[in-house]
Amino acid sequence: MKDIVTTEFKARYGEDPTFIIRAPGRVNIIGEHTDYNDGFVLPMAINRAVWVALRPRKDATVKVYSVNFESEESFDLNDFSHTDAGWIEYVKGVSWALLQDGYALSGWEGVLAGDVPGGAGLSSSAALELAVGRAFEAVAGETWDGTKLALAGQNAENNWVGANTGIMDQMISANGEAGHALFIDCRSLDTELVPLPEGTCIVVMDTSTRHSHVDGEYNERRAQCEAAASAFNVKALRDVSVADFNAKAAILEPLTQQRARHVVTENERTVAAANAMKAGDVAALGQLMNASHVSMRDDFEISSTALDKMVEIAQAQPNCYGARMTGGGFAGCAVALVDVGAAEGFVAAVAPAYKEATGLKPALYVCDATDGARLIED
Ligand code: ADP
Ligand code: MG
């Protein structure tokens, strides 16, 4: 990717770029539908990223060519507005959010390219937002806080682009570190880096199914979580321990009880998973991932036939410690914790078995945990 953006930059501007930025996509290892309940998540930044090669401009114009979309777009930082739903809206949105937060921005021009597959649930949008944030930082010659840039990225995505997302994707793309997952408290935004167990990797398994029209399902889940929190008289389900929940669950009607049980137990699993990582306890981590899948399938009811099949096939492989669906649900990707040395064999076994079972061709990505969005110095 670095070569691609550098070569394209040189072809367009006849010189080397002044700055090169890399901002990674992400995968969530455990902690699903906990973010909007003020709970915990445990994602890692992956070895797929959005790259930008750029040079400062003397004026307030931002001009960007996307290699992936084969299109060049530009706008003036002093005077810009929505045009359509194209990719440049993410760039404008981050500019808008940073200006709102009082950052002084100046113009730049360059090239962007990424290898985060779009719309697969690996968050190419957050990667793009953080790449843009760091591009403005580089041009300003200043050092900006990763969490603040993450919040600006989320603000851009929610309020400029109009996609309703939590803060996890931007936080991990901003603050990830090689070899580590990031334990995030979605209430305080406190973070803790936890090492991935030595000798293991995460394999992302895209079922090649995509959800559509599930906003109603998400809104319903959110409403059920809020109803449960208010029945328990707390701000969010984050404030309910598993013990509290078990003692008082009968006050909730059965479906709400089921939904809340997922969130309450998932929070506890996510804390336990971070501890298992710190202890290097791969087996415990894998078991927590398996339990998380069952909870999403049976209590939160956000899995699908394809996701269940993928997880079942993955769990049956030797050298796989655990697997679960990941992301919002109903379609998309699952993740497995696998021995590094066995990853190739794992992919070679899972892909055909899944195709045989479903008739769908999956995409599997063996992922390393990488650094968050930053300037690449060579
Ligand atoms: P994802 O799950 O990958 O985040 P989204 O729909 O949220 O999917 O975001 C994908 C969008 O992000 C693309 O449609 C595009 O607008 C923008 N994007 C991502 N990568 C690039 C890129 N390399 N060049 C231009 N736009 C990109
Ligand atoms: Mg996205």
Alpha helix locations (H) across the chain? Answer: 2-13, 88-100, 124-140, 146-155, 168-175, 215-231, 242-248, 254-279, 282-294, 305-315, 343-358
Q: How far is CA 234 from the centre of its chain?
A: 28
Pocket probe for ligand 1: among 5, 128, 158, the residue whose CB has the most ligand atoms within 8 Å is 128
**DSSP letter, residue 249:** G
Quote the pLDDT of residue 367: 95
pLDDT in tens, the chain (378 residues): 999 999 999 999 999 999 999 999 999 999 999 999 999 999 999 999 999 999 999 999 999 999 999 999 999 999 999 998 799 999 999 999 999 999 999 999 999 999 998 877 899 999 999 999 999 999 999 999 999 999 999 999 999 998 888 899 999 999 999 999 999 999 999 999 999 999 999 999 999 998 877 778 888 999 999 999 999 999 999 999 999 999 999 999 999 999 999 999 999 999 999 999 999 999 999 999 999 999 999 999 999 999 999 999 999 999 999 999 998 899 999 999 999 999 999 999 999 999 999 999 999 999 999 999 999 987
For 263, the token pair is 């969130």
pLDDT of residue 176: 98
Q: What is the pTM (predicted TM-score) of this model?
A: 0.94
Atom 15 of ligand 1: nearest residue by CA position: 87
- Give one DSSP letter per residue of 307-359, joined into a string: HHHHHHHHHTSTTEEEEEE-SSSSSSEEEEEEEGGGHHHHHHHHHHHHHHHHS
Residues forming beta bridges with residue 92, ordered by sequence position: none
In the chain, the N- to C-terminal Cα span, in Å, equals 14
Show the domains of the chain with their CATH numbers: 2-192+370-375 (3.30.230.10), 196-367 (3.30.70.890)
24 lines ligand 1 (CB under 6 A): no
| Residues counted in the chain | 378
Query: How many Å separate Cα 185 from the centre of its chain?
Result: 15
Q: Is 174 exposed, middle or buried (0-12, 13-18, 19+ CB in 10 A)?
A: buried
The answer to whether the beta carbons of residues 124 and 118 sit under 8 Å apart is: yes
Say how far apart CA 269 and CA 285 lie, in whole Å.
9
Point out the ligand nearest to the CA of residue 129.
1
For residue 320, what pLDDT is reported?
98
Q: Which atom of ligand 1 is nearest to the CA of 118?
A: 3
The reported pLDDT for the residue numbered 163 is: 85
The one-letter amino acid code at 123 reads S
Q: Is 121 close to ligand 1, i.e. is its CB under 6 Å away? A: yes
Q: What is residue 164's predicted lDDT score, i.e. its pLDDT?
A: 80
What CA–CA distance (Å, rounded) separates 201 from 342?
Answer: 10
- Cα–Cα distance between 138 and 202 in angstroms, integer? 31
**Measured from the CB, is residue 218 less than 6 Å from ligand 1?**
no
114 lines ligand 1 (CB under 6 A): yes
**Does residue 154 have its Cβ closer than 6 Å to ligand 1?**
no
pLDDT for 269: 98
Query: Distance from the CA of 163 to the center of ligand 2, in angstroms?
Result: 8
Q: How many Cβ atoms are within 10 Å of 78's Cβ, its own excluded?
A: 11
pLDDT of residue 248: 94
